[in-house]
Amino acid sequence: MGLEKLLYLQGVGAEFINFSGQNIRIPVQDREGVLRCMLDKLADTRGGIDAKYLDRRIHELDAEPWTVGLHGFQHSYLDDPEISLYLPYDYQGELTLRILSESDCLFCLRLLPADMQIVGDYHIGKTQYLHYRLSLLKLIPAGSEDAKLATDTDTDTATECVESKLDSSDVIEAKNQRLGLGYHSAELIAGKYRYSGIVMMAPRQAFRLSDINSDTDSDINSDTDLDISSDTDLDINSDIDLDISSDVDLDINSDTDTGSDINSEIASDKTSVSTTNTNTNTNTRPWGLSIQLYSLRSDNQWGIGDFGNLTEIIDWVAEHGGDFIQLNPLHALDIAEPEQVSPYSPSDRRRINPLYIHIQAVPEYAQAKFRLQSDEFEALRRSINIDNWLDFPQLTLIKYRAFIILYQVFSLSDTKSSSVRRQEFDDFVLREGEALTQFVLAESAKAGDELPKNLDFYRFLQFVAEEQICACQTNAKQAGMSLGLIRDLAVGASPGGVEVRQNPSQFCLDASIGAPADPFAPQGQNWGLAPLDPISMKKDNFQHVISIVRGNMRHCGALRIDHVMSLLRIWWCPLDEDLGQGAYVYYPVDSLFAILCLESWRAQCCIIGEDLGLVPPEMDLRLRSSGIYSNQLFYFCKHSKGFMSPGEHKQDSLMMLANHDVPNLAAWWSASDLHLRRQLELIDNDAALGDALNGRELEKQQLLSLLVSLECIDKSAVDSLEYEALLEAWISASALSHSALFSVQLSDLIGEIHSVNIPGTWQEYPNWQRRLPISLSAIKESSQVNNLLERIRAARK
């Protein structure tokens, strides 16, 4: 019984519904193995978990929270604000509750336990504790006459009080104000005891497309960037509230000629993106392109797609009425291992990969171009700009040589304009604080001998990357895009990366995240990413989660959250194989959704939750009730009769024809993806390949039937249909989707057949290294591609 209770308290699930609808009981030994990954090494004995440790841990998680009058972090909603308090049953004395808002407005209330609603109780020995709930609609502005008694606390009964920000003479009396959205400092005084914590007020729903043009309350649009780790040292012991219940032999090294020159540059606009909508596009159903930024090709780049290319593609798509550009994750990767290139296995999700910097757009380039345009550098740049597959170690080395020269100009300049820029840099460093300092320390320590050890060099790269992505979003909004950039947040971080090493207490280092077995991965999946610890997450007041979300909502109109089910639960795989096959671990989902909704409104940023795969029914309900858009893939939108019609698609969703985890449209139609999977032994034998090909042929016929039924192609033309005509009909039909958002991959518009990623492979296939076969300028000049964009525009009106 003790073990089962601790498993529950730690969030280790007991069962789940698998891909075929079966209820799967997770073996106890697998659940215990995950639990042992979570616990102190001292808890482990050869016979299992030490019994005394088990009892202590249960007491810590189950009982101790009831002894803390005000928990360190709790959330509530603006339309029904309330707070939870915990007191012994026999305490009937007077209580003083004070809340200091983010804007330093003080609210006070003096009350008795009898004034509150009892919603639960717990016995520890002979003492009974009660859980009270208090409506914050009763809060009294501190400037009112009724509040004076509440602010005159009897210091004789608070002899054990600690110094608090609430005692500051700098606070503003909250006359005629209400407690608004944000992270507010709270204090409860009960006799001689004083407790402090954070009360987060959140909206019920995230920022949505319909809110872009609407007038919103200034309280919601607050740009206060609160340091939630601020003045009070909070003791968090909050209780857990979990609900567990055709034949093609692909040559993957082939080369194709590139197109013509691209000469555009990023504008050096350093201002923040205005929240005022300047969009002149009257679309009610926004659409855009999804791109892998690194894959873009141009003659003037340094071997990899960059923010200059992004600016060019923004201008082009905006001219066709597009509303957004959907990006791959831009997170910083491991500088010591440039061959580890997956954007979904980042070193730090709070930082940007400097390789995306457009060198010619850096202000210092004007003084550095004589050196950077030398014969030596031109030869190096051309050498990494030829192949169809990115050479990350080589391009990293060459591009960082250019960065060094740019930094030298920055650090040595003493002109008036350079002093302004230096101040902007200093402001950036101050704003990013300790997290940036720890990041650059790690970068410097891990950098090879050929790279600088100067910390400001790495700060400079982050400063430039930040201003360039800001300029891209500014440009997108000025060009008339309603959303602009859609950024992508990876589900986890590399265990050896800066984010995990800087915050080791927030992660479990003895497990990684993944997924249980399904038809695409019969052995299950291990993604090699360190899982966040749900208990530590709460003890930390969710500071790390908030910093990740807030940082990735900057400079974009929407944020796609990869594997959004991780807000509720995620599969943990013990690193020690002797500890079993893994289990689901549950997270404080209510608090996480509330944080997302609050941060979404503050950033004026819509949220898209990638909910593909094994999705609990509860998750779909939460996404809808929280105003978070789901994510659909055309390939998976099927029913018993074949592919769904556009009107059957989910309305509150982003519909994508394809993404980085599935074959491109051309590969799917030719079935070359199946032949490649057989080459890579992801399909076990020729018989299995034959079955897969038969299944694909059936799906192709279902697609044709759908297109005929929508009158996108004539039935008499089916047998002689060329792929170009099929693509036009396919995209035109899909763009009619009932979904709120629609995107198509740039690679699909040009008929690219190679995949950027094949799930289940590592060294067998060069994932995340494929460049587009033609340049961006050639794509823009293609009449076929421009015609496809116009067809999408027409369908989305």
Within a domain: 29: no
Is the pLDDT score of 158 beyond 50?
no
Domain of 624: which CATH number? 3.20.20.80
> What average pLDDT does the chain have?
88
Within a domain: 391: yes
pLDDT tens figures, 69-123:
999 999 999 999 999 999 999 999 999 999 999 989 999 999 999 999 999 999 9
Which residues are paired to 75 by β-bridges? 200
Is the pLDDT score of 271 beyond 80?
no
Q: In Å, how far from its chain's centre is CA 55? A: 37
When mean pLDDT is compared across 42-51, 85-94, 336-345, the lowest value belongs to 42-51
pLDDT tens figures, 442-473:
999 999 889 999 999 999 999 999 999 999 99
The residue to which tokens 């007038």 are assigned: 215
Is the pLDDT score of 183 beyond 90?
yes
Q: How far is the C-alpha of 298 from the C-alpha of 714, rounded, in Å? A: 38
Given 169, 204, 239, the domain boundary residue is 204
- How many Cβ atoms are within 10 Å of 347's Cβ, its own excluded? 26
Is the pLDDT score of 148 beyond 60?
no
Residue 398's domain comprises: 287-489+609-670+739-796
- The reported pLDDT for the residue numbered 416 is 67
When mean pLDDT is compared across 407-421, 606-620, 646-660, 714-728, the lowest value belongs to 407-421
What are the C-alpha distances in Å from 441 to residues 14, 312, 408, 463, 498?
42, 34, 19, 15, 9
> pLDDT tier at 49 (50, 70, 90 boundaries)?
confident
- The reported pLDDT for the residue numbered 273 is 35
Can you tell me the mean pLDDT for 296-317?
A: 97
Is the pLDDT score of 786 beyond 50?
yes
Q: How far is the C-alpha of 596 from the C-alpha of 592, rounded, in Å? A: 6
pLDDT tens figures, 359-401:
999 999 999 999 999 999 999 999 999 999 999 999 999 999 9
| Shared domain check, 299 and 194 | no
Instruction: Please tell me the total count of domains within the chain.
Output: 2
Given 184, 204, 224, the domain boundary residue is 204
Given 204, 237, 254, the domain boundary residue is 204
When mean pLDDT is compared across 184-188, 520-524, 760-764, the lowest value belongs to 520-524
When mean pLDDT is compared across 50-54, 168-172, 258-262, 285-289, the lowest value belongs to 258-262
Can you tell me the mean pLDDT for 696-712?
A: 97
H or E stretch at 435 = helix 416-446
Is the pLDDT score of 793 beyond 90?
yes
- The reported pLDDT for the residue numbered 149 is 40
Can you tell me the mean pLDDT for 173-202?
A: 89
| Shared domain check, 366 and 484 | yes
Within a domain: 541: no
Can you tell me the mean pLDDT for 419-442?
A: 95
- The reported pLDDT for the residue numbered 137 is 86
Can you spell out the DSSP letters for 715-765?
A: GGGGGG--HHHHHHHHHHHHTT-SSSEEEEEHHHHTT--S-S--TT-STTT
Can you tell me the mean pLDDT for 479-508?
A: 97
Q: In one letter, which amino acid is 373?
A: Q
CB 562 within 8 A of CB 491: yes
Within a domain: 56: no
Q: Give me the half-sphere count of Cα atoms (radius 13 Å) on the Cβ side of residue 572.
A: 35
Within a domain: 586: no
